[in-house]
Amino acid sequence: MPSGKKASLWLPYFAIAVAVAALYGRTVGFDFIPSWDDKEYVVENILIQSLSAGNLKRVFTETYFSNYAPLHLLSYSVDFSLWGLDPAGYHLTNVVLHLLNACLLFALLSRLLNDRAAALMAALLFAVHPINVENAAWISERKTLLTSFFSFLSMLSYLSFREGKGLLHYALAFLFFLLALLSKPLTVTLPLALVSYEFFIKRERRGWLKPLPLFLLSVLGAGMAFWAHLSHKSIEGGSLTLDVLFGTVYPTMVPVYWKYIRLILWPFGLSGFYDTTLFGSFFEPVVAASLIAWIALTIAVLWKGTGQTRFWYLWFWIWLMPVANIIPIPVYYADRYMYLPAVAVFVLFGSLLSYVKGLKSAQKAAYAAFAAIFLFYGAVAFERVGVWRNELSFWQDTAAKSPGQDKAQLNLGYAYEMAGRLEEAEKAYMAAVRIYPSQEAVSNLEMVRAKIEYLKNKR
C-alpha cells in the first residue's frame, strides 16, 4: 500500500487522539471526588485492593453499590495494582478508554455511513463534546466508558459477520456484548440497535432474525440489573405502582427528553446533579406540548425519512431507553446518560456538513462551519473539565446550578469543611437543612458550629 494511502487511513485516529489529549490530558492531575461515589468505588473499596481469589469471587458473584458490574470493579483492581490510590492513574485509564471509544466509533461510523468524512466529524464531536465530560473526567463513571468500549467492539464484530467474514465474528459479537453487560447493564438494548440496522440499512428480508440470539443476553443483563437495584433498595417497591409511574415519573420524563436535545445542541448549564421539575399529569401544558412534538417528529421520521435517518433517530431512543425511567431510578436525568444516545446528533452534524462539503461551491463554508462547531464545543468542554478538578470545585459548581438540591448543599458544606473554610461550610449546611432537615445535615451543621466556636475561644 502506498505510504500516502496508509497515512490517510491513520490520520483520523491521530486527529482524534490529539483532540482527546488536548481536552482531557490535564485530568491526570485531578483528585478523587470521595463524596460522589469515588469513596465507595475506589478510595475505601477493599475489594479492589487485591486480585486475590476471594476478592475476585466476591466481585463476580455479589452486587456492589446497587450494581452488578464486575468488570467495572476489576478495572479499578488493575489500577490499584499499578498506582495504589494515586488518582492520576485512574484518570489516565478513563482518558485512554474515552480515546479508544472515539476511535472505535469512527471505525463503526465509517462502515455504517460509508462516508469517512462524516464519520470523522461525528467522532471528533463525540471526543470533545461537553456532555461527555462527566463520563471521561469522573473516575466512578468508568463503567459507561467500559460498556461503550465493548458495545462498539460487539457491533463492529457483528458488521463483519454480516459482511460474510464467518461465524467467528458472530461469536465475538456475542462475547463482547457479554463483556459490555458485565461492565454496566446500560447496553441491554444493543440487540435492538442491530435489528434496526437490519431493517433500515441492510434491508434484507429476514436479516432481522440474525441478532435475535443476543436478546438472551439482554434478558439476563436486565434481570441482573433489576435484581441489583432491588437488593440495595435503590428501586422502592412503591415507585412501581401505576399511580406513581403515570402520575409523576412518566409525565416528568417527557420534557426531559427535549432537555437532552437542548443540552447537546447548546451545552450550557451542565451540572453534576440537576434540579428536576416534577409534573403530575400528561395534560399539563409543558408535558402535553413535549409529547405531541415527540409523536409528530417520530411519525415524520419513520414515514418520510431515509433508511439512515430512521436508523439514527431510533439509535437515540434505543440507547436512551435503559435510563429513560421506564423502571424508575432516583436520578431523572444526567449528562452521563447521553454518552451513547448523543452519537445520533453528532452523526446528523457530520452527515450534513459532509453533504455540503460535496458541493464544490460550498466546500470552504463546510470546513469553516465544522471548525467553528468543533472549537465551540471544545472550548465549552475545556471549561467544564476544570469543574471536576477536586471535590470543592465540583460541588461549588453543582450547588450553584442546582441550589434546590439538599445533597448538593450538604456535600458542598463537607467540601468546605475539609478545606478548613468553616464559615462557608456552615452556610452550605444551613442551606441543606432549609431544603431538607435530614439527620446528617443537622448533625454536620452542629459539628461545624462547634468547631467554629472552639476556634473562637482558642484565640
Residue 235, pLDDT above cutoff 70: no
CA dihedral of 320, 326, 330, 336, whole degrees rounded to 10: 0
Residue 196, pLDDT above cutoff 80: yes
Predicted TM-score (pTM) of this structure: 0.95
Residues forming a β-bridge with 67: 64
pLDDT given at position 326: 85
Residue 344, pLDDT above cutoff 70: yes
Residue 232, pLDDT above cutoff 90: no
pLDDT given at position 293: 97
Lookup: cell for 266: 447548546
Instruction: Judge whether 240 and 216 are in contact, CB under 8 Å.
Output: no
Identify the helix (H) or strand (E) that includes residue 285: helix 285-304
pLDDT given at position 243: 86
pLDDT given at position 238: 57
Q: Tens of pLDDT along 108-162?
A: 999 999 999 999 999 999 999 999 999 999 999 999 999 999 999 999 999 999 9
The band of 4, judged by pLDDT with boundaries at 50, 70 and 90, is: low
Average pLDDT over residues 31-50: 95
Average pLDDT over residues 224-246: 73
Other CB atoms within a 10 A radius of the CB of residue 430 amount to 16
pLDDT given at position 383: 97
Residue 234, pLDDT above cutoff 70: no
Residues in the chain: 459
Residue 317, pLDDT above cutoff 80: yes
The SS3 assignment for 416 reads helix
From residue 134, give the alpha-carbon distance in Å to each of 27, 266, 304, 389: 12, 16, 36, 12
Q: Tens of pLDDT along 326-343?
A: 888 778 999 999 999 999
Identify the helix (H) or strand (E) that includes residue 261: helix 250-265
Longest alpha-carbon distance in the chain:
83
Lowest-confidence range among 67-71, 88-92, 203-207, 314-318?
Answer: 203-207
The band of 66, judged by pLDDT with boundaries at 50, 70 and 90, is: confident
Round the average pLDDT of the chain to a whole number and report it: 93
CA dihedral of 183, 29, 17, 124, whole degrees rounded to 10: 80
Residues 39 and 120: their CA atoms lie apart, in Å, by 37
pLDDT given at position 426: 96
pLDDT given at position 85: 97
pLDDT given at position 100: 98
Q: Tens of pLDDT along 265-300?
A: 999 999 998 988 999 999 999 999 999 999 999 999
Helix axis angle for 439-458 and 422-435, nearest 10°, is 150
Lookup: cell for 400: 450553584
User: Domains plus CATH for the chain?
Assistant: 3-391 (no CATH), 403-458 (1.25.40.10)
pLDDT given at position 441: 95
Average pLDDT over residues 396-400: 96
Lowest-confidence range among 20-29, 135-144, 265-274, 357-366?
Answer: 357-366
pLDDT given at position 239: 63
The band of 352, judged by pLDDT with boundaries at 50, 70 and 90, is: confident
Query: Residues 395, 442, 274, 33: is their CA dihedral positive or negative?
Result: positive
Instruction: Judge whether 55 and 77 are in contact, CB under 8 Å.
Output: yes
From residue 158, give the alpha-carbon distance in Å to each of 162, 220, 299, 314, 402: 6, 20, 29, 18, 42
Instruction: Judge whether 410 and 398 are in contact, CB under 8 Å.
Output: no
| C-alpha neighbours within 13 Å on the C-beta side of residue 331 | 12
Residues 16 and 4: their CA atoms lie apart, in Å, by 19
Helices (H) and strands (E) in the chain, counts: 20, 0
The residues, ordered by sequence, that sit 6+ positions from 143 with a Cβ below 8 Å of its Cβ are 67, 69, 72, 183, 184, 186
The residues, ordered by sequence, that sit 6+ positions from 106 with a Cβ below 8 Å of its Cβ are 12, 13, 16, 119, 120, 122, 123
The residues, ordered by sequence, that sit 6+ positions from 315 with a Cβ below 8 Å of its Cβ are 193, 196, 341, 343, 344, 347
pLDDT given at position 147: 98
CA-based radius of gyration for the chain: 23
pLDDT given at position 399: 96
Q: Tens of pLDDT along 70-120?
A: 999 999 999 999 999 999 999 999 999 999 999 999 999 999 999 999 999
> In 25-137, where does DSSP find H-type helix?
53-61, 70-83, 87-113, 116-128, 133-137
CA 201-218-212 angle, to 5 degrees, is 45
Average pLDDT over residues 440-458: 92
Other CB atoms within a 10 A radius of the CB of residue 210 amount to 19
| Cell numbers 459548581: residue | 397
Share of the chain above pLDDT 70, in %: 96
